[in-house]
Structure 1
Amino acid sequence: MARRSFHPGSKTTQLIILLGGFALGWAIYMRYALVEQSAVGLACIGVETSTCQARSLVIEMFGYSVFGITAIVAAIIQFIRPSVAVFIIGVMASAAGVVLYNNNLASLAAGLLLISLARPWRRVKG
């Protein structure tokens, strides 16, 4: 029996690009508009707004490498057992991790996700 590689269809590919772009845009906004701005950091001292809470949550998450670990775990699962949902999670976590200071693990995960496109997906009667 022939085995084909993991290649999502055109609509699934559009969804992957859309969600990956959203994650990348969110990460860029969080890093350059909230995390790196000293004025936002000074304004958040002693203030509990939703923006300050989101900023502190993101800082804590990249402090524990949550984005990179999520990306690498999803990429390993995707490499072993390909699925579209895990691929989307891996792409989103990898995009956010590259921007939000978890670039070592997120870059490794992106490479594994790329390699997973060549892995056999399911049996095809041939």
Structure 2
Amino acid sequence: MAHHSFLPGARAANVIIALGAFALGWAIYVRYALLEQSSVGLACRTLETMTCETRALVIALFSQSAFGIVALVAALLQLVRPSLVMFTLALMATCMGLVIYNNSLAGVAGGLLLISFARPWRGARG
């Protein structure tokens, strides 16, 4: 019985690309519109809005390297046992980690995701 490598089909790839683009877009918005704007930081000292709470949560998460750790753990799980869901979650976390200041761990996770394409996959057809 031949084992085929992990490679999502066309429909799954479209969903993965869309979710990855969403995660990347969200991370870019949060970084450049909420985190790096000094006016938002100053406004959040006096106001309590959902935007300020989101900003505070993201700052707390990237201070603890949460985006990079989640990306690395999900990529390791994807490497050990490939699945479409884990690949999608790892890709989304990697995109967020690369943009939101967790570059080192998310970069390693991105490399592991590339290596996971060489792993045999039970879900492969052929």
TM category (shorter chain) comes to over 0.9
| Cα distance in 2 for residues equivalent to 1:19 and 1:58 | 19
Question: Residue 73 of structure 1 aligns with which residue?
Answer: 73
* Percent of aligned pairs with the same amino acid: 59
Question: Residue 43 of structure 1 aligns with which residue?
Answer: 43
Gaps of 5+ in 2: none
**SS in structure 1 at match of 2:118:** coil
Q: How many angstroms does 1:46 deviate by? A: 2.8
CA 1:38–1:4: 2 relative to 1, 3 Å = same
Question: Residue 104 of structure 1 aligns with which residue?
Answer: 104
| Cα distance in 1 for residues equivalent to 2:77 and 2:2 | 23
CA 1:123–1:20: 2 relative to 1, 3 Å = closer
**Deviation readout 1:80-108 (Å, 9 max, x if unpaired):** 00000000000000000000000000010
Question: Residue 16 of structure 1 aligns with which residue?
Answer: 16
Question: Residue 62 of structure 1 aligns with which residue?
Answer: 62
Report the TM-score, using the length of structure 1 for normalisation: 0.96
Give yes or no for contact 1:2–1:125 (8 Å, CA) kept in 2: no
CA 1:8–1:124: 2 relative to 1, 3 Å = closer
CA 1:45–1:103: 2 relative to 1, 3 Å = same
